[in-house]
Structure 1
């Protein structure tokens, strides 16, 4: 199998826009809400020390993820998504590895993210790669599961 390549791209590119749209539609259906954007806007990753990552397999876009600053030391992961036909093939892990690499390069000390209870595969992935549960840090929806990874551990690999 060809290796998944995850790299920063323009959040407003055709591929990025389509991936974000697919994720928002999937989340809206999953959680039965009208807006599956989870408060994400492209402007969130057009600021310094942020990025939008697209994962590709044979140059075909198969997933995405975003990182936006929460504060000087902490970055938040948003818009993690893998197209259904490409799940369980290392796509999300490749995206997280690139986000962690960039976060370290940008000088962040920790990464936070939130996901929902109807996404057990996402929870399992985050826990498998070293994220630990923390209290909800954003929003007012009580069903959120929040996680953090300290980047000092990333650098020790």
Structure 2
């Protein structure tokens, strides 16, 4: 596991990674991983298929895996007690103060919340003050999920300005 040098401090992500038990008592481990590995690519492909079935767009054009090649980004994979990948998520920088969540996906209940919590903890440890994301309005499950987790609706930003199908969220730390 690689360390990141943030503001002169080395952050060992293994130290801040955690294992938790979901309400079903399933052991869940969420750790940073290489977004190019087979499990990561499989999860992101599954996500694209799910998004296509819900929104008609898999979201690939809004994400470049190379955006994660810096010390202000991270890609996490959630694994069950058998080390099977069951979810993922990433943050990438928008600017020095704000990260953007990308490629959030969960195959099982409660896993998405735990991935989101872990992404937020990593974002804070890196020094971000807020976090943003975009989803499609038609993806009502995702909209409810982010509202339930303390995100609030903001004006569409970046490439989503003027896109009436998109809805953007933000959370400040």
SS at match of 2:169: strand
TM value normalised by structure 1: 0.87
Q: Tell me by how many angstroms 1:56 deviates.
A: 1.1
Out of 42, 54, 72, which is 1:49 matched to?
72
RMSD: 1.4
Matched, 1:22 2:42: no
Q: Tell me by how many angstroms 1:38 deviates.
A: 4.2
Which of the two has higher C-alpha Rg?
2
Matched, 1:136 2:156: yes
Matched, 1:148 2:138: no
Partner of 2:141: 121
Measure, in 1, the Cα distance between the counterparts of 2:30 and 2:139: 22
Farther off after superposition, 136-145 or 8-17: 136-145
5+ unaligned residues in a row in structure 1: which ranges? 152-157
SS at match of 1:11: coil
Measure, in 2, the Cα distance between the counterparts of 1:67 and 1:137: 16
5+ unaligned residues in a row in structure 2: which ranges? 1-24
Q: Say how many residue pairs are matched.
A: 146
TM value normalised by structure 2: 0.79
Farther off after superposition, 122-131 or 97-106: 122-131
Structure holding more strand per residue:
2
- 8 Å Cα contact 1:6-1:98 kept in structure 2: yes
Structure of higher RCO (CA pairs closer than 8 Å, 6+ residues apart): 1
- Deviation beyond 4 Å, 4+ runs, structure 1: none
Partner of 2:105: 81
Q: Cα 1:38–1:30, aligned 2, differ >3 Å: closer, same or farther?
A: farther
- 8 Å Cα contact 2:51-2:59 kept in structure 1: yes
- 8 Å Cα contact 1:65-1:77 kept in structure 2: yes
